[in-house]
Every structure is written in structure tokens, then in C-alpha cells.
Amino acid sequence: MNEQMMRNNYQKLLEYHQDYELNPNTEPSRITIELTPEWADLLVRIVLLEGTSKTAVVRKALDGLADEIGSSVLYPAIPASP
């Protein structure tokens, strides 16, 4: 990812973060994802090995990505307006 794209994506995150601070989502969210047969197979194999649900596997993967990216990036400090 190039520098300009990273800046644009971070700006989108800041805008989302500010909106979320004003209007937090308090309801559970449902998603539908389209996976290739290989990814779907991988997900089922992980579910079977972990003895858990697909939701739990996705949550665990998101937790891992969140740890990798870091909370200071995901939840930026927005300076107060004067």
C-alpha cells in the first residue's frame, strides 16, 4: 500500500471514529461473507479442530489482527477542538 493510500485510509478511520464517538453502535452486528471453497474449507477445519463456532474463529482472527495493528492506531486519540 502506498503512502497516499495509507493517509486516505487513516483519514477514513478518523472520520469513522469521530462519528462512532457521537453515535456508538450498541446493537450486535451480523455479517455475510463470501468465501472461496478453499477459505470455506479452511474455516470448517479450524472450527472442527478448535471445537468452536465460525463466529468464534472470526472473532479470534479479528483479535489477532487488532493486536498486530495496535489499539493506538485502531482507536486514535482525537485532539479536542479549541
The b-or-e profile of 58-75 (16+ CB within 10 A means b, else e) is eeeeeeeeeeeeeeeeee
**What confidence category does residue 81 fall into, taking pLDDT thresholds of 50, 70 and 90?**
low
In this prediction, residue 82 carries a pLDDT of 58
Q: Any residues with CB less than 8 A from the CB of 13 and at least 6 apart, and which?
A: 74, 76
**What confidence category does residue 8 fall into, taking pLDDT thresholds of 50, 70 and 90?**
very high
Tell whether 21 is covered by a domain.
yes
> Per residue in 27-58, pLDDT tens?
888 999 999 999 999 999 999 999 999 999 99
Query: Residue 19: which H helix or E strand, with range?
Result: helix 3-22
Kindly tell me if the per-residue pLDDT of 1 is higher than 90: no
Enclosing domain of residue 51: 3-74
Global confidence as pTM: 0.76
Find out whether 17 and 76 touch, Cβ atoms under 8 Å.
yes
Tell whether 20 is covered by a domain.
yes
How many structural domains comprise the chain?
1
Cα(56)–Cα(51) distance, integer angstroms: 10
